[in-house]
Amino acid sequence: MSKRKFGELILKETDYLSALETQEALFNHKVNLKKEEKDGPNILLLLEHPHVYTLGKSGDTGNLKVKPEAIGATYVATNRGGDITYHGPGQMVGYPIFDISHFELGVRQYVELLEEVVIDCLTHYGLKGERISDASGVWIDAHSSFPRKICAVGIKVSMGITMHGFAFNINTDLSYFDHIIPCGISDKGVTSLEKELGRKIPMLEVQNLFIDKMKTHFGVIDLSL
């Protein structure tokens, strides 16, 4: 795997639509550079959102069971893959704007590598994160009678350029998931680092750990833009 630079851009709590506008600008710029056979940095956005429900392009609006404004949330239909999910404070959301050809990856390999980064973060905290063959993301007790998703993954790829990404529950208020059928899956649960460990985890601690694991798996040698 070749080593490539990517730039790290960590944002504080940012509303979803503003973050989406930033993503799309970076994504379109990178696509245009590639059309011109030019190169540019691979950029990772790490942030938190205010309470919002987002629906993937193939999602079912019936999986949203409440009017978002009734519980202080908003709703956005997006162009990522997957169904409905929740984003909110205490959740680390990551949007890699990567050219996956830089890392000699196909789309499935890329998703699996993102999941592996999260799995390594969980191992650091003494938790076993796993995949489920018929569901994306990272799960706790994946092969038990009641697996719990701790990280959702949903992406868009065009010309090998990625956007959207993952949502890793750190100190997330999980009650907001009660108002949806998360990712359209009704027979599984959701969890967070806080719930599994019985204590709050500093977000900056997890961000730094995640970046270290990204460097390991994506062969990153530089974090400067």
Q: Is 204 helix (H, G, I), strand (E, B) or coil?
A: helix
Query: Where does residue 143 rank: exposed (0-12), middle (13-18), buried (19+ CB within 10 A)?
Result: exposed
Of 31, 121, 151, 183, the active-site residue reads 183
Angle formed at CA 161 by CA 110 and CA 168, multiple of 5 degrees = 50
Whether residue 110 contacts residue 99, with contact meaning beta carbons closer than 8 Å, is answered with no
Quote the CA–CA distance of 124 and 100 in Å, as a whole number.
26
183 is catalytic: yes
Task: Tell me the β-bridge partners of 140.
Answer: 129, 148
Q: Which residues are catalytic?
A: 183
